[in-house]
Chains A and B, each alone.
Chain A
């Protein structure tokens, strides 16, 4: 726990390095998606039990207003983790690209925003 706090503190206080932020966010999004996936698997298992129980799941976990807001976090988390993970993979296999790290991070974030915005609008449309 102390190590966790120290690590978060380091991430917050270590100014000027995009890499540190990118890493903290990659870890936080990865762990967040794992938690969602636990819930998600249980929800599909409930669908295997029957239509009645699944109707409750659908109304509560997927379409209620709080669920819609959390869903936007999920969209951001998955898109960020996916594009940042691809950046890590590409630079790991082509280390020469490391020189363009800053540019590549900017391209990555631009791609995340381009995909996230329409998806988030579609998700939140219903509740306003």
Chain B
């Protein structure tokens, strides 16, 4: 439990300058507050308003098109960045709680962050190029 910040608030942030784990503690709470609105909305919207069986290629394309598409892409980008940052840091809490071997701890943390950054890259490519965008780009490059 030494490095996990899942302990209750002990007034560290209110008095004196916040240290690194204190900032992370606050970061987990601020991102949690934001996602309480955005992620729950995303999940219920896809289930109740759209219906998962209706989420076809064309359906996503329609949501991501036109002026409203800019809003949805920014919204999805916020899910991507905030969710991955919160989630990767949460995984780090678990690694620190269970893996006490320093080298193994470092390797696992590096692997989780490496995979996380790679997935953030994939997600960003999808949002910027749009559905089918990568395929079209390849076709154009191949002539």
A residues in contact (CB < 8 Å) with B: 1, 3-4, 7, 23, 27, 30-31, 33-34, 37-38, 41-42, 44-45, 47-51, 54-55, 58, 62-63, 71, 75, 78-79, 82, 85-86, 88-89, 91-93, 95, 98, 115, 118-119, 122-123, 126
Does B115 lie within 8 Å of A79, measured CB to CB?
no
The 7 A-B pairs at the shortest CB distance, nearest first, are namely: A50-B135, A92-B9, A48-B126, A51-B57, A34-B87, A48-B134, A45-B122
Q: Which among B115, B129, B131 is the interface contact of A54 at CB below 8 angstroms?
A: B131
In this assembly, does B36 line the interface, its C-beta being within 8 Å of a C-beta of chain A? yes
Does B87 lie within 8 Å of A30, measured CB to CB?
yes
In this assembly, does B60 line the interface, its C-beta being within 8 Å of a C-beta of chain A? yes
Interface centre among A30, A42, A50 (most CB of B within 10 A): A50
Q: Decide if the interface of chain B is mainly helix, strand, loop or mixed.
A: helix
CB A18 to nearest CB in B, in angstroms, measures 15
In this assembly, does B6 line the interface, its C-beta being within 8 Å of a C-beta of chain A? yes
In this assembly, does B91 line the interface, its C-beta being within 8 Å of a C-beta of chain A? yes
Does A3 lie within 8 Å of B100, measured CB to CB?
yes
How many angstroms between the C-alpha atoms of A30 and B39 in the bound complex? 13
Does A44 lie within 8 Å of B123, measured CB to CB?
yes
Does A47 lie within 8 Å of B98, measured CB to CB?
no
How many angstroms between the C-alpha atoms of A5 and B82 in the bound complex? 30
Does B122 lie within 8 Å of A75, measured CB to CB?
no
Interface centre among A37, A54, A58, A89 (most CB of B within 10 A): A37
Does B132 lie within 8 Å of A51, measured CB to CB?
yes
Does B133 lie within 8 Å of A48, measured CB to CB?
yes
Does A38 lie within 8 Å of B39, measured CB to CB?
no
List, in ascending order, chain A residues with CB within 8 A of B123's CB. 41, 44-45
Known: A38-B115, A41-B119, A91-B8. A47 touches B57 (CB 8 A): yes
List, in ascending order, chain A residues with CB within 8 A of B69's CB. none
Does B126 lie within 8 Å of A47, measured CB to CB?
yes
In this assembly, does B94 line the interface, its C-beta being within 8 Å of a C-beta of chain A? yes
Residue of B nearest to A71 (CB): B52
